[in-house]
Amino acid sequence: MASLLGLVSAAPMAQAQDDFARGTAAFKSGEYRRALALFETERRRGGSSAKLTYNIGVSHFKLGDYAEAGRWFERLLEYPQWRDLARFQLGLVAEKGGDSARAREHYRAVQARAESDRLRALSGKRLAALAPSEPRTATASRQWTALASASAGFTDNAFALQDELLVDSTLAEDRYSEVFAWGQYRLAGTADNGWRLQGFAYRRGYAEYDSLDIDSYNLGVSRDLSWNGWRLELGAAAESTSLGGESLARTTRFTGRLQRAFAGNRVSLAYLPGHYSGGSDYRHLDGWRHRVEAKLARPLGRATVNALYRLDIDDRADLERDNGDFYSYSPTRHSAAVELEWPLRDNWTLSAGVEYRTSDYDGLNTLTDTDGTAKEKAREGERVKSWLESQLYLSPRLRLAGKVSIADNEENFALYTHDRTEASLGLRYTF
């Protein structure tokens, strides 16, 4: 079952004596032990490429040394461009070891995340062979998946969100706890052509300031399609959010997303409009937000670079008080972010990122600022947010996750200017 899968080709005739090229030729001739010896010679001379690692692993597999093959394939999990292939081969290793549950786990991971249509198809065939009673139509991913997490954290400015919503400038430290659950169920078809039901529930509760507790619930349906080499997602969802036990907003969200891989890079383009209906104290939030996103994930050695550009255009009801004060809640925002994610060990990853955001609001804000001065001008702001996150895999499904983030929001009204630092630690489990 294991093979070079077309990823390794013979070296040119001018390099016929090269150990790697001769090892490749020996492998193709079925001389697996000789091929392994030549690959090992190349490694001892300093060869350390992912391609050489793969060839050593697949040679061990052909020789029946499945445990050793697995150890070499696990090394490839550190390389984003090789990760899917390594997972598929680890599925084959698990099959040979009689661990069908572990094999299915690897194949389902490949189906859910692999860019290669061929790898997804091969994983589907192995799943069908391991579980022939399962419907053959569900070959593009497992029918359902879910994630749950719980964490505890600390913030030095619990009121930052309320400052933006109610214009009630306060600074207060507090401890908080968070719980999050997400899941999706495939109603019909496959990941390339099918329907999904998905949703999440989220809660952040504060130790002292329970008026700032946030609860959010979302349920929606998505249609997955393939179009001219792109993976297309169309969807709609309803979401309800409350602040301090009072309704903050009910939102109808829509999704239009295109994804495609180009030369090992993953590109995502999205249009994500949403209509907001604020609660009784938040009518100024009524209206639309139009969001456009472009994302790029690019391998960089063992690491992955993630880049984001986002445009938000808001058209809200805004807030006008009886004394004539006017507060705009209709910003146009440009955001740009970059994140670097790299593996420290096979089961330990670290990521660091920074985001820069500008905001320009419609209309002229008329209000009394924190210094007691009455001001009338268009609201403008800049925010810089940075973060450091680490994930340690305690098992293939269980992760220990820690995160520290710092946000600096500067505006031309001191009323809206604030800083915020948060740190959290928690557990995440994938079902």
Domain segments of the chain as ranges: 13-130, 144-430
CA-derived radius of gyration, the chain: 26
Task: Note the pLDDT of residue 219.
Answer: 98
Task: Note the pLDDT of residue 17.
Answer: 45
- Ranking 42-46, 177-181, 297-301, 368-372 by mean pLDDT, the lowest is 297-301
Task: Note the pLDDT of residue 178.
Answer: 98
Task: State yes or no: pLDDT of 131 exceeds 80.
Answer: no
| Planar angle of CA 173, 175, 177, nearest 5 degrees | 145
Task: State yes or no: pLDDT of 97 exceeds 90.
Answer: no
Task: Note the pLDDT of residue 199.
Answer: 97
Residues 6+ away with beta carbon under 8 Å from 263? none
Give mean pLDDT, residues 264-280: 92
Q: What distance in Å separates the CA atoms of residue 172 and residue 97, rounded to the nearest whole number?
A: 56
| Planar angle of CA 121, 267, 108, nearest 5 degrees | 30
Q: What distance in Å separates the CA atoms of residue 128 and residue 52, rounded to the nearest whole number?
A: 31
Task: State yes or no: pLDDT of 261 exceeds 80.
Answer: no
Task: Note the pLDDT of residue 402.
Answer: 97
pLDDT over 90, % of the chain? 49
Task: Note the pLDDT of residue 217.
Answer: 97
Tens digits of per-residue pLDDT, 396-429?
789 999 999 999 999 999 888 889 999 999 999 9
Q: What distance in Å separates the CA atoms of residue 165 and residue 24, rounded to the nearest whole number?
A: 64
Domain 13-130 has CATH 1.25.40.10: yes
Q: What distance in Å separates the CA atoms of residue 146 and residue 134, rounded to the nearest whole number?
A: 19
Task: Note the pLDDT of residue 136.
Answer: 36
Q: Which residue has the tokens 């910003």?
A: 331
Task: Note the pLDDT of residue 137.
Answer: 36
Report whether 282 contacts 295 (CB < 8 A): no
In terms of Cβ atoms closer than 10 Å to its own Cβ (0-12, 13-18, 19+), residue 160 is: buried
- Residue 400 CA neighbour count, 13 Å, CB half: 5
Report whether 309 contacts 294 (CB < 8 A): yes
pLDDT over 70, % of the chain? 90
CA distances from 114 to 80, 109, 163, 392 (A): 11, 8, 42, 22
CA distances from 37 to 1, 32, 51, 117, 212 (A): 21, 9, 16, 33, 64
Helix (H) or strand (E) run with residue 164 in it: helix 160-166
Tens digits of per-residue pLDDT, 364-396?
999 888 888 899 999 999 999 999 999 998 887
Task: State yes or no: pLDDT of 133 exceeds 50.
Answer: no
Of the candidates 122, 106, 100, 111, the one whose C-alpha atom is nearest the C-alpha of residue 3 is 122
3-state secondary structure of 255: strand
Q: 384-423: buried (b, 16+ CB within 10 Å) or exposed (e) per residue? A: ebebebbbeeeeeeebebebbbbbebebebebbbbebebe
Task: Note the pLDDT of residue 10.
Answer: 37
Of the candidates 354, 352, 412, the one whose C-alpha atom is nearest the C-alpha of residue 384 is 354
Residue 217, both tokens: 């619930």
Tens digits of per-residue pLDDT, 285-321?
999 999 999 999 887 777 889 999 999 999 999 999 8
Tens digits of per-residue pLDDT, 337-358?
999 988 787 678 899 999 999 9
Higher pLDDT, 197 or 26: 197
Tens digits of per-residue pLDDT, 52-68?
999 999 999 998 888 88
Task: State yes or no: pLDDT of 328 exceeds 70.
Answer: yes
Task: Note the pLDDT of residue 165.
Answer: 56
Task: Note the pLDDT of residue 140.
Answer: 41
Confidence band of 141 (pLDDT split at 50, 70, 90): very low
Taking the alpha carbons at both ends of the chain, their separation in whole angstroms is: 28
Confidence band of 161 (pLDDT split at 50, 70, 90): low
DSSP 226-243: EETTEEEEEEEEEEEEEE
Task: State yes or no: pLDDT of 166 exceeds 80.
Answer: no
Give mean pLDDT, residues 126-144: 57
Report whether 198 contacts 167 (CB < 8 A): no
CB atoms closer than 10 angstroms to residue 74: 18
Q: What distance in Å separates the CA atoms of residue 51 and residue 48, rounded to the nearest whole number?
A: 8
Q: Which residue has the tokens 């899941």?
A: 183
Please report, to the nearest 10 degrees, the dihedral formed by the alpha carbons of residues 84, 90, 91, 94 taken in order. -170
Task: Note the pLDDT of residue 15.
Answer: 41
Fold of 144-430: Porin (2.40.160)
Task: Note the pLDDT of residue 169.
Answer: 47
Q: Which residue has the tokens 């690491």?
A: 303
Give mean pLDDT, residues 71-75: 89
Q: What distance in Å separates the CA atoms of residue 54 and residue 412, rounded to the nearest whole number?
A: 56
pTM for this structure?
0.69
CA distances from 99 to 67, 68, 373 (A): 12, 16, 71
